């Protein structure tokens, strides 16, 4: 995936459950792109300062690309998405997705790592709208339903 995901209009606000869901879906779709290209600009722009999940994703991409490698495959097929506004004004977004097989490839084309399985996953993200920008403040992705 060498083309970045399309930037949703929802990034411009306002704060709503629908926009939070669109921003959450966009954030998740950035990871396979970053693994393939090393481009972390959009992930960094959306990552809250204290977001450990965001730092974890960034660390995976950095480790792959600092070694001169890149990822292939690993697309996320995004499914059902839920969103709810919390009492503090933040949003919790749940996204079901399928993570397809992927590989980490060295610069010479040799295989570094192979991830041949397809996984059913669910991510839960906490999003914040500052009045002018969205940030991902926390997240967690877990497998459910087993391998396909």
At 53-87, the pLDDT tens digits run 999 999 999 999 999 999 999 889 999 999 999 98
- pLDDT value for 145: 65
pTM given for the model = 0.92
Q: What is the rounded CA–CA span in Å between residue 98 and residue 116?
A: 13
As a whole number, the mean pLDDT across the chain is 93
* H-run or E-run covering 72: strand 70-73
Q: Tell me the angle at which helices 52-66 and 17-37 cross, rounded to the nearest 10 degrees.
A: 20
Nearest residue to 124 via CA among 84, 146, 93: 93
* CATH class of domain segment(s) 9-147: alpha beta
Q: What percent of the chain has pLDDT over 90?
A: 89
Structure tokens at 10: 């929802």
- pLDDT value for 49: 94
Q: What is the rounded CA–CA span in Å between residue 43 and residue 85?
A: 22
The domain ranges of the chain are 9-147
- pLDDT value for 148: 47
Nearest residue to 23 via CA among 126, 97, 119: 126
């Amino acid at each position: 995936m060498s083309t970045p995901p399309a930037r949703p209009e929802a990034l411009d606000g306002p704060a709503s459950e629908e926009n939070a869901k669109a921003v959450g879906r966009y954030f998740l779709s950035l990871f396979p792109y970053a693994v393939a290209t090393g481009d972390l600009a959009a992930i960094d722009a959306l990552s809250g300062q204290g977001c450990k999940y965001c730092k974890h994703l960034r660390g995976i991409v950095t480790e792959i690309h600092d070694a001169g490698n890149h990822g292939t495959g690993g697309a996320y097929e995004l499914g059902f998405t839920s969103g709810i506004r919390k009492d503090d004004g933040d949003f919790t977004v749940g996204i079901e997705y399928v993570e397809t097989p992927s590989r980490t490839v060295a610069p010479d084309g040799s295989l570094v790592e192979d991830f041949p399985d397809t996984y059913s996953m669910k991510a839960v993200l906490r999003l914040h709208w500052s009045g002018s920008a969205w940030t991902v403040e926390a997240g967690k992705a877990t497998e459910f339903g087993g391998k396909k």
